[in-house]
Amino acid sequence: MLDLSQYQGIVFDMDGTLIDSMGEHMLAWEQTCKHFGYPFDAEYMNGLGGVPTQATVVLLNQKHGLSHDPLQVAQAKRRFWEQMNSAPVTIDATIAVLEHYRTRMPVGVGTGAERPHAEKMLRDTGLMDKIQTLVTASDVRQGKPHPETFLQVADNLGVPAQHCVVFEDTEIGRQAAEAAGMDCIMVENGRILL
């Protein structure tokens, strides 16, 4: 087992880190982009993993010179995603870390997902009862790469940020962790990178 004894708290991102849902989100984004006339670039969109949906729309508008309403596009993306109605699958490597440490130190989730989506995913996978706090895009003013999400998780856990470690699957999430003064362990395609 990964030795995290130097830390006092663990923060997990959700999509792509604890739950393997990035593929479905990309399909929903592809449908959304087509619907609103954005060229779909899978590599670019994957790079925005962890950015709240409305903030992603702002970036898409800037990139493509469009002016769609972020809330309207976000609601459409959510509808496309919900229509898939597939059961979430957890990522074994990070779940093993969560299970090993959850009785040893506080554990929280900091995600760019909206609260209703995050709560449903965590409930459906049985993870909601295994964490002490959940901070979502609905709970912060500035999403990743800003550190607010992770700082709020640390505050809710009662652990100084510099004593927390973050598990993330995106570069934007890593930037948020580092900006929060936290070490970051990357997860790629279901594997923990050391």
Active site residues: 13
Q: Up-side HSE of residue 32: CA atoms within 13 Å toward CB?
A: 31
Q: What are φ and ψ of residue 82, in 5° steps? A: -65, -30
Question: Quick one: which H or E segment has residue 85?
Answer: none
Look up tokens 């609905």; give the residue. Answer: 138
Q: How distant, in Å, are the alpha carbons of 49, 74, 86, 126 from that of 147?
A: 15, 22, 31, 27
Which residues are registered as beta bridge partners of 110? Answer: 135
Question: Do residues 107 and 68 make contact, with C-beta atoms less than 8 angstroms apart?
Answer: no
Look up tokens 């994957």; give the residue. Answer: 46
Which residues are registered as beta bridge partners of 98? Answer: none
